[in-house]
Amino acid sequence: MGLNIVQKIIKTHLVEGDMTPGKPIAIRIDQTLTQDATGTMAYLHFEAMGLPKVQTELSVSYVDHNTLQAGGPENANDHLFLQTAAAKFGVYFSKAGNGICHQVHLERFAVPGKTLLGSDSHTPTAGGIGMLAIGAGGMDVALAMAGEPFYLTMPKVVRVNLYGKLRPFVSAKDIILELLRRLTVKGGLGRVFEYGGEGVKYLTVPERATITNMGAELGATTSIFPSDEQTYLFMKAQGREAQWRPLQADPDATYDEVIDIDLSELEPLIACPHMPDNVKKVKEVEGLRVHQVAIGSCTNSSYRDLKTVGEMFKRTGKMVHPMVSAAISPGSKQVLRMMDKEGYYDVFLRAGFRILENACGPCIGMGFAPPSGGVSVRTFNRNFYGRSGTKDAEVYLASPETAAATAMKGVITDPRDLGLEEIKVFLPEKFEIDDSMIYAPAADPDEVEIWKGPTINYVGYKEPLGDKLEGEVLLKVGDNITTDHIIPGGAKILPLRSNIPAISEYVYSVVDETFAQRAKEKGGGFIVGGENYGQGSSREHAAIGPMYLGIKAVIAKSFARIHHANLINFGILPLVFVNKEDYDKIDQGDILEIDLSNFAPGEDNIITVINRTKGISIPTKHGLNKRQVEIIKAGGVLAYVKQKFEKKNAQ
| Active site residue ranges | 64-65, 120, 382, 537, 539
Residue 631 has phi, psi (to 5 degrees) of -65, -45
Nearest to 592 by CA among 559, 621, 617, 558: 617
Which are the contacts of 368, defined by CB distance < 8 A and separation ≥ 6?
292, 294, 325, 327, 354, 356, 361, 362, 389
Nearest to 217 by CA among 47, 10, 387, 80: 387
Nearest to 628 by CA among 14, 13, 24: 24
Amino acid (1-letter code) at residue 407: A
Three-state SS at 520: helix
Tally of residues, the chain: 651
Amino acid (1-letter code) at residue 238: Q
Three-state SS at 536: coil
Given a contact cutoff of 8 angstroms between Cβ atoms, the answer to whether 564 and 190 are in contact is no
Given a contact cutoff of 8 angstroms between Cβ atoms, the answer to whether 528 and 473 are in contact is yes
Angle (CA) 73 75 79, round 5°: 115
Report in angstroms the alpha-carbon separations of 51 from 43, 48, 456, 537, 547: 11, 8, 20, 28, 25
Given a contact cutoff of 8 angstroms between Cβ atoms, the answer to whether 608 and 575 are in contact is no
The three-state DSSP-derived secondary structure of 486-508 is HCCCCCCCHHHCCEHHHHHHHCC
Residue 299 has phi, psi (to 5 degrees) of -85, -40
Given a contact cutoff of 8 angstroms between Cβ atoms, the answer to whether 326 and 352 are in contact is yes
R_g over Cα of the chain: 24
CA distance 78 to 450: 11
- The enclosing H or E element of 309 equals helix 303-316
Which are the contacts of 38, defined by CB distance < 8 A and separation ≥ 6?
119, 120, 137, 138, 497, 538, 539, 540, 541
Which are the contacts of 263, defined by CB distance < 8 A and separation ≥ 6?
162, 163, 164, 165, 166, 170, 175, 199, 202
Amino acid (1-letter code) at residue 19: M
Report which DSSP code applies to 463: P
